[in-house]
């Protein structure tokens, strides 16, 4: 039953990813196409209705999925790279080095991580745009905020993984195959990445399924506050912000809030369920 649940979860996630990649191309409407049907409720012409500018909500939702999933994947990958490397080094070297490195992790844990991302964006958003404008990377200037989201969210999500990897390395480094590698003269990087890393890889991959929803949720929160993805790009967070802004006592275009919220919550639920299923799989 657990294997069936895992396959079912993977299938639904694959559908969401494929819809995000190919959906906007298959839609009869462009992402920025405007029509006279403003705030039109769901109908046969617009399955999820239209927004305040007459844009098809389903098309924008699929386009926003690209940004949200991309931020989640890149941010989780950065946290994976930093956390695994940090945990490997701390656990293997041990002693005072390990103690100093983990005290630094404790200090970062005490800080509100989402505030650090907000500060990073506030300080470097305009500076990065100006820097890119004056170089051969000028076409990327409009994506400066997105690049900062990649880096910022990735650099605040690695702390838990570093602790997990360090704990695993502390027990693995005393095993015979690691001691044999030392005796034959293998250097530290070779031992870390060829001998020890494969042993912790399963738990690292499981962590990835938990980091993805965390990064996606944080991006959505920042975009909801207006500190994340900026127009003309859209993400699930910006769509939620647009929907919430349209709710008032006179008009209640519920579809602008309900459908983005359902898409976001379903995706996060599937990713968390996938992580639970991977953790509960029997170890060989």
For the whole model, what pTM was predicted?
A: 0.86
Joined together, the tokens standing for residue 242 give: 């647009």
Per-residue pLDDT averaged across 234-263, rounded? Answer: 88
Q: E strands along 196-273, which residues?
A: none
Six-digit token string for 166 = 């360090």
| Helix 144-154 vs helix 197-224: crossing angle, to nearest 10 | 130
**In whole angstroms, what is the distance from residue 78 CA to residue 154 CA?**
5
Residue-range domains of the chain with CATH: 2-280 (1.10.3720.10)
Q: Which is more confidently placed, 31 or 137? A: 31
Task: Please give the pLDDT value at position 206.
Answer: 82
What confidence category does residue 78 fall into, taking pLDDT thresholds of 50, 70 and 90? very high
Least confident of 29-33, 42-46, 258-262: 29-33
Q: Give tens-digit pLDDT for 113-123.
A: 888 888 888 88
Round to whole Å and give the CA distance between 158 and 80. Answer: 6
Torsion of CA 170, 174, 177, 179, to 10 degrees: 120
pLDDT tens across 234-246, in order? 899 999 998 888 8
Per residue in 141-156, pLDDT (tens digit) is 667 788 888 888 888 8
What's the CA gap between 246 and 14, in Å, rounded? 32
d(CA 158, CA 105): 9
Q: Token pair of 105, please?
A: 């992790």
């Amino acid at each position: 039953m657990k294997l069936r649940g895992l396959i079912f979860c993977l299938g639904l996630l694959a559908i969401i990813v494929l819809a995000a990649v190919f959906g906007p191309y298959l839609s009869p409407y462009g992402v920025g196409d405007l029509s006279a049907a403003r705030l039109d409720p769901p109908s046969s012409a617009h399955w999820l209705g239209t927004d305040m500018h007459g844009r098809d909500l389903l098309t924008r939702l699929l386009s926003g999925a690209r940004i949200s999933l991309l931020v989640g994947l890149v941010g989780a990958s950065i946290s994976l790279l930093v956390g695994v490397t940090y945990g490997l080094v701390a656990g293997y070297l041990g002693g005072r080095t390990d103690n100093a490195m983990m005290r630094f992790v404790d200090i970062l844990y005490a800080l509100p991580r989402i505030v650090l991302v907000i500060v990073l964006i506030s300080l470097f958003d305009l500076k990065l745009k100006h820097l890119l404008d004056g170089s051969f990377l000028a076409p990327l200037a409009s994506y400066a905020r997105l690049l900062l989201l990649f880096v910022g969210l990735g650099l605040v999500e690695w702390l838990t993984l570093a602790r997990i990897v360090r704990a695993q390395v502390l027990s693995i480094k005393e095993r015979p195959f690691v001691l044999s590698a030392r005796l034959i003269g293998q250097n530290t990087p070779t031992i870390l990445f060829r001998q020890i890393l494969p042993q912790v890889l399963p738990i690292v991959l499981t962590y990835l399924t938990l980091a993805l929803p965390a990064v996606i949720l944080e991006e959505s929160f920042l975009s909801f506050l207006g500190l994340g993805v900026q127009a003309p790009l859209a993400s699930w967070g910006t769509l939620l912000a647009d929907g919430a802004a349209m709710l008032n006592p006179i008009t209640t275009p519920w579809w602008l809030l309900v459908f983005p919220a359902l898409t976001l919550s379903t995706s996060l639920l599937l990713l968390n369920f996938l992580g639970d299923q991977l953790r509960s799989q029997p170890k060989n």
